[in-house]
Amino acid sequence: MEKGDVLVEAQSLGRSFGAKRVLDNVSITLHAGEVTGFVGANGAGKSTTIQLMLGLLHGEGRTLFLGRRLHAWGAPGTVVGAVLGGVAGHPKHRVRTHLRMVAAGSAAPDRRVDELLETVGLTDAAHLRLAQLSLGMSQRVAIAQALLGDPPALILDEPANGLDPHAIRWLRDFLRSQADQGRAVLVSSHLLGEMEQLADRVVVLSRGRVVAASPMAQLLADAASRRVVTVQTPDLPKLAALVEARGGLLVPTGGQGANVQGLDRIQIGTLASDSGVPLYWLHEEGPSLEDFYLGIAEEEFTIS
């Protein structure tokens, strides 16, 4: 498989609980060598989407893994690995014993367990019981378990929940390394800012619907285009005319203050200087990624 190849296609997924529509026409495509961030507020439908993709819930649409439904594969663990929160094992079982039991069920050799313990940095903790693990260590065991079958796709549902900054950094670096090895990685999160440091693509879910899907580079460019520059000048009418002549918009905020959209601070400062307009204040601030996509979500549902 080459980087960019489509490995997973979720097509028109939908789900209702009684009369409540919780997921509507959700489609996601995962590519080899890329991390896709699946972002939305708590309750947006991210976990429901992932469970539908993996066949853990019944609903509308279908998901293809390497061109086939997951149940069509004799060994699903060799196609996709999933981390859905915690380690499902007896709390008294030791880490290595637990992973060997899971490996036996998926026909993976014991040496694969030791390889993965080293990969996730738990070789020295292999003798610990599951009940003794910290949350961060438990997540590492869950990731090792998901990788036992050496699958080309990896799906993780809110893996950073409750982790400390050190564990989050390890997780981010590890998932990036998995994508660099050619895997397609899907990571759900309610923290869009975290995805800025990890994801190649972002899919944003709001109230059960996809409201944005784009490469991260495009997302950042779109966010930058919504920058706002705050100015203060005793000659707002003249500055407004200059700004509008350059395709921008000046909105007075009271007194000598105003917000300018469509131009950056360098452009505004140059315009003012060249035209003799004094500036008492000039400050540029772009919206956070969370603010930007929350705004898109609100626009989407106001229109609909």
* Residues 179 and 277 both lie in one domain: no
| Residue 54: how many other CB atoms lie within 10 Å | 17
Given 193, 215, 237, the domain boundary residue is 215
* Residues 251 and 186 both lie in one domain: no
* Residues 264 and 200 both lie in one domain: no
Residue 220: the pLDDT is 73
Number of domains comprising the chain: 2
* Residues 80 and 118 both lie in one domain: yes
* Residues 48 and 189 both lie in one domain: yes
What range defines the domain where residue 24 resides? 6-215
- The CA distance from 50 to 48, in Å, is 5
Residue 301 lies in a domain: no
- The CA distance from 173 to 185, in Å, is 13
* Residues 65 and 145 both lie in one domain: yes
* Residues 163 and 251 both lie in one domain: no
Residue 3: the pLDDT is 87
In DSSP terms, which residues pair with 38 in a beta bridge?
A: 188, 203
Length of the chain: 304
Residue 145 lies in a domain: yes
pTM of the model: 0.80
Residue 115 lies in a domain: yes
Residue 290 lies in a domain: no
* Residues 51 and 140 both lie in one domain: yes
* CATH code for the domain in which residue 42 is found: 3.40.50.300
Residue 294 lies in a domain: no
**DSSP per residue over 71-85, as a string?**
GGSS-GGGTEEEE-S
* Residues 48 and 150 both lie in one domain: yes
* Residues 267 and 173 both lie in one domain: no
Given 184, 215, 246, the domain boundary residue is 215
Residue 189 lies in a domain: yes
Residue 222: the pLDDT is 72
* Residues 72 and 120 both lie in one domain: yes
| Residue 20: how many other CB atoms lie within 10 Å | 8
* CATH code for the domain in which residue 245 is found: 3.30.70
- The CA distance from 167 to 142, in Å, is 14
Residue 304: the pLDDT is 41
Residue 304 lies in a domain: no
Residue 22 lies in a domain: yes
* Residues 238 and 204 both lie in one domain: no
Q: Per the structure block, which two tokens stand in for 61?
A: 């649409």
For the chain of 304 residues, list the mean pLDDT of each consecutive stretch of 10: 91 94 96 94 91 95 97 93 86 94 86 94 94 92 94 94 88 94 94 82 90 84 77 96 94 94 91 95 76 59 42
